């Protein structure tokens, strides 16, 4: 499997995902790319190969949205705070799932007792 990185896009664009061949569009901000080819990876392939990175991107997008909404308010709206909490929980869940997989914890498949 190729390494997947988060890269900051300076402008919007579109390209073909190198893993599945679907058209992928992105806006300004963070996106997933293949480390060797610098090609943008679609969300579906990102969820399959790097779920924690997709959850981290979601958290970044929600945090940006909450920051823009609450910029001129004393406190952000409750709905925005709930969206942020949900995105943070999704990120934490994806990290915990990846860390608890036997092949990632031990470097190999767990042996049956």
Supply the pLDDT for residue 25: 92
List pLDDT tens digits, range 21-69. Answer: 999 999 888 999 998 888 999 999 999 998 989 998 988 888 888 888 7
Which position has the token pair 């949205």? 65
Tell me: the pLDDT tens digits for 69-109? 777 778 788 888 888 888 888 888 887 655 555 444 333 33
According to CATH, what is the number of the domain 1-48?
Answer: 3.30.60
Please report how the helices 78-100 and 51-69 are oriented relative to each other, as an axis angle in degrees rounded to 10: 160
What is the dihedral sign for C-alpha 91, 87, 74, 29? positive
**pTM across the whole model:** 0.70
Task: Give the end-to-end CA distance of the chain in Å, rounded to a whole number.
Answer: 29
Residue spans per domain, the chain: 1-48, 50-101
């Amino acid at each position: 499997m190729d390494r997947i990185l988060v890269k900051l896009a300076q402008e919007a664009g579109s390209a073909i995902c190198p893993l599945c061949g679907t058209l992928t569009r992105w806006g300004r901000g963070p996106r997933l790319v293949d480390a060797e080819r610098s090609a943008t990876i679609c969300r579906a392939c990102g969820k399959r190969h790097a779920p924690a990175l997709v959850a981290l991107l979601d958290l970044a997008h929600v945090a940006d949205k909450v920051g823009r909404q609450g910029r001129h308010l004393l406190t952000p709206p409750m709905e925005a705070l709930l969206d942020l909490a949900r995105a943070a929980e999704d990120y934490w869940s994806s990290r915990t799932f990846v860390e608890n997989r036997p092949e990632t914890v031990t470097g190999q498949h767990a042996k049956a007792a």
